Amino acid sequence: MNCSGIDLANGEWIEIEFDRTITEIRTPEIGGQPAGDGPYLAPGFIDIQVNGFAGVDFNNPCATSGQIGLALDTILTTGVTRCLPTVITGGPDEMLTCLRNLRAAQKELQWGRAIAGFHVEGPYIGAEDGPRGAHPKRWVRPPDIDEFHRWQDATDANIRLVTLSPHWPEAPSYIAAITSAGVTASIGHTGATAEQIAAAVEAGATLSTHLGNGAHSIMRRHPNYIWEQLAEDRLSASFIVDGIHLGHAYLKTALRAKSVQRTILVTDASAPAGAAPGRYRLGEQDADLTADGRVVLAGTDKLAGSALRMDAGIANLVRLGGLSLRDAVQTATTNPARLIHLEGRMEGLKAGEAADIVAFRERDGAIEIESLYLDGEAVFAGLP
């Protein structure tokens, strides 16, 4: 198969030949470029934190493969070709069941290979209001390497990312153990001290999960755990860029501190994403999607994930964060791929890489997806 358009990485018109992988990228000779504007071509987007979509909650132990497939099909329309369905803090048995359901969907669904693995966010987080976020307090518990092995057994060793707080005494040894197994460890939902954060990084943590969220509403101006993570160059950081979770000044400052190379765009989408305003479930709790696009625990103003689409997140990084379109796309493609060691996706549009390709246009500050290929197979093509 082949497709053609403008390579977002360098602005040149290219033609891509591919089967399951990219076999050749050609630049037409002068005069060979088609007249008119073509779409931009980029690697398919990667979302390493998505809790649900299209009314489907990945934290529902009763979610079927068909329901998970509905969510995945909708996620694909946003230009995402690989994602990490995310299971948050819950009861041990319920979390295992959710992971088993997601693994079954990964194996059974037509586009199941878009599921690149799984992100477990919690339950080893801070129990305090603020750092805990929307996670249920009764299930917060200290790191347990035996539980990690049960997650791996349930998913056939497909856990790729674990978010935990380094304030637990067990955290450094836990981080060392999972990273030695090839799993990425991330700091998040924490009120940890500078020393505890440093110990986590020394043990192998390489990411801060949605930095600036899952935090106290009021904290010491300095030092504090957000500054410590911003200043640590060995940590990349993920951000929810929906215009709701982060203030513009903080976002710009955080992007400068981390640089494009260490920035990861995530949606942190939950069940209401891609659905109409109303009430939904997030694990064992109710959450409301408000008319202004906020996802909050029912009856509160506490954020509970987002309704963000990845294509909108990229546009927001340009509009709110001041990044170029090329840099914004990097935060949703090669950066997350390298973070989670996703083979075939770490080098961008190059021969030998997976044929995960998105064609899109930028119109009036919005990203409009035209075509999408997953492992060289057209998920959809030629949308107007």
- The catalytic residue positions are 268
Residue 57 and residue 102: Cα distance in Å, rounded? 11
Residues 6+ apart with CB under 8 A from 177: 145, 148
C-alpha closest to that of 176 among 197, 140, 202: 202
Residue 251 and residue 241: Cα distance in Å, rounded? 8
Q: What is the 3-state secondary structure (H, E, C) of 67-121?
A: HHHHHHHHHHCCCEEEEEEEEECCCHHHHHHHHHHHHHHHHHCCCHHHECCEEEE
Q: What is the 3-state secondary structure (H, E, C) of 331-379?
A: CCCHHHHHHCCCCCCCCCCCCCCECCEEEEEEECCEEEEEEEEECCEEE
Q: Is 327 helix (H, G, I), strand (E, B) or coil?
A: helix
Residue 275 and residue 49: Cα distance in Å, rounded? 18
Token pair of 35 as six digits: 């007249």
